[in-house]
């Protein structure tokens, strides 16, 4: 049965490394990295994500600023908030918490963030840097997946990697990360004709679809590494991923649980991104 990949433990190690680097900055007379969280409206899930990210800031010594805005804010007003934070020399990173209310299309807002302060790595400039093998700010969840693979000694070089899900947030940048790590990459999505057949070829499988039990245990190639990014809340309130965990564990060599797998890594990657953004802006 598969070895469980402990995302909580790896995330703690990453966060601790960031804490030490922030402390070193302070003893060298530099300021703490600072991140501004923009939260629009009162979506409870978004508020809880921002709370989790702020807790990580407290643990690492990153300074967290909060900009809380009403759900009915006009696009112009939100653009002006982003412009002000872009111009603020004391702010190293800007995070616009998604999803936004329906009247605010996210893309023009994400593109307004100074790419140097885009700690989510979602600005097309940063996605483009990753696509042409010169990553700067890397999207947090796919970066977290790569950190997990490295922590368990799983080298993607020459392996067949299959990504299920092609979103801007996870699937697409995940495929770029795996290509950068020299895997042979296939990306599956809703229009994929034979998902079972694609999944069965994967030495490394990363699933980010958002559908419970989409991936059957019987599809998993024996000895594969299974990374389940999905987070689904069931009717009884419990969380599960996109992979049939028990059945997949019988075939895989490594597997991430949900919760406790990829989830904690996303915030850990954000802490790395904010530290690196501050270091790039203020290297000396
Ligand atoms: P999304 O809805 O934007 O994209 C889902 C992708 O999966 C799409 O490309 C779609 O084509 C594909 N897909 C959906 N159903 C499919 C099916 N039946 N067959 C094949 N492909 C299918 O979602 P997202 O933002 O990429 O998030 C995906 C999942 O990952 C969600 O469960 C989300 O909660 C989770 N997530 C977790 C973290 C984390 O661990 N921190 C971060 C982001 C997202």
* Residue 242 in this model has a pLDDT that exceeds 70: yes
Separation of CA 208 and ligand 1 centre (Å): 4
Ligand 1 center to 229 CA (angstroms)? 8
Per-residue confidence (pLDDT) for residue 87, from 0 to 100:
98
Residue 81 token pair: 């908030």
Nearest-CA residue for ligand 1 atom 34 is 231
pLDDT band per the 50, 70, 90 thresholds, residue 283: low
The finding on whether 229 has its CB within 6 A of some atom of ligand 1 is: yes
User: What would the mean pLDDT of 22-31 be, rounded to a whole number?
Assistant: 96
Which residue's alpha carbon is at the smallest distance from atom 14 of ligand 1?
Answer: 209
Mean pLDDT of the chain: 97
Residues noted as catalytic: 53, 97, 120
* Contact call for residues 216 and 244 (beta carbons, < 8 A): yes
> Measured in angstroms, how far is the CA atom of residue 215 from the centroid of ligand 1?
13
Cβ–ligand 1 distance for 52 under 6 Å, the answer: no
Segment 32-52, tens digit of pLDDT: 999 999 999 999 989 999 999
Q: Could you tell which of 120, 170, 244 is best to mutate to test the pocket of ligand 1, judged by most ligand atoms within 8 Å of the CB? A: 170
Residue 170: pLDDT over 70: yes
Are residues 137 and 156 in contact, defined by beta-carbon separation less than 8 angstroms? no
Candidate of 162, 167, 193 to mutate for ligand 1, largest count of ligand atoms within 8 Å of Cβ: 167
- pTM score: 0.98
151 pLDDT more than 80: yes
Q: Is the pLDDT of residue 284 over 70?
A: no
| CA 172–ligand 1 middle distance (angstroms) | 11
**Residue 209 beta carbon below 6 angstroms from any ligand 1 atom:** yes
Ligand 1 atom 6: residue of nearest CA: 165
Residue 262 has pLDDT above 90, yes or no: yes
Q: What is the pLDDT of residues 201-227, one digit of tens each?
A: 999 999 999 999 999 999 999 999 999
pLDDT average, residue stretch 13-26:
98
| pLDDT > 90: percent of the chain | 98
pLDDT band at residue 282 using 50, 70 and 90 as cut-offs: confident
* CA 189–ligand 1 middle distance (angstroms): 9
The pLDDT of residue 113: 98
């Amino acid at each position: 049965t598969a070895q469980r990949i402990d995302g909580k433990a790896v995330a703690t190690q990453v966060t601790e490394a960031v804490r030490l680097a922030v402390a070193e900055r302070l003893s060298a007379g530099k300021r703490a990295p600072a991140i501004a969280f923009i939260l629009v409206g009162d979506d409870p899930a978004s508020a809880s994500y921002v709370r989790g990210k702020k807790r990580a800031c407290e643990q690492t010594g990153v300074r967290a600023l909060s900009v809380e805005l009403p759900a009915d804010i006009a696009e112009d007003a939100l653009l002006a908030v982003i412009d002000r934070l872009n111009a603020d020399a004391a702010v190293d990173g800007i995070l616009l918490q998604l999803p936004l209310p329906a009247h605010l299309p996210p893309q023009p807002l994400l593109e307004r963030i100074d790419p140097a302060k885009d700690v989510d790595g979602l600005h097309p400039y940063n996605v483009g840097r990753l696509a042409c093998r010169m990553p700067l700010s890397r999207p947090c969840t796919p970066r977290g997946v790569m950190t997990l693979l490295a922590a368990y000694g799983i080298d993607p070089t020459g392996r067949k990697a299959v990504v299920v899900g092609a979103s801007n947030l996870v699937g697409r940048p995940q495929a770029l990360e795996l290509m950068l790590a020299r895997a042979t990459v296939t990306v599956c999505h809703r229009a994929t004709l034979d998902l079972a057949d694609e999944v069965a070829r994967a030495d490394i499988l990363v699933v980010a679809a958002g559908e419970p039990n989409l991936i059957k245990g019987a599809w998993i190639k024996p000895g594969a590494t299974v990374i389940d990014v999905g987070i689904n809340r069931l009717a009884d309130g419990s969380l599960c991923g996109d992979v049939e965990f028990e059945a997949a564990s019988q075939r895989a060599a490594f597997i991430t649980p949900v919760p406790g797998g990829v989830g904690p890594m996303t915030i850990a990657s954000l802490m790395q991104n904010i530290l690196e953004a501050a270091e790039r802006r203020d290297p000396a």
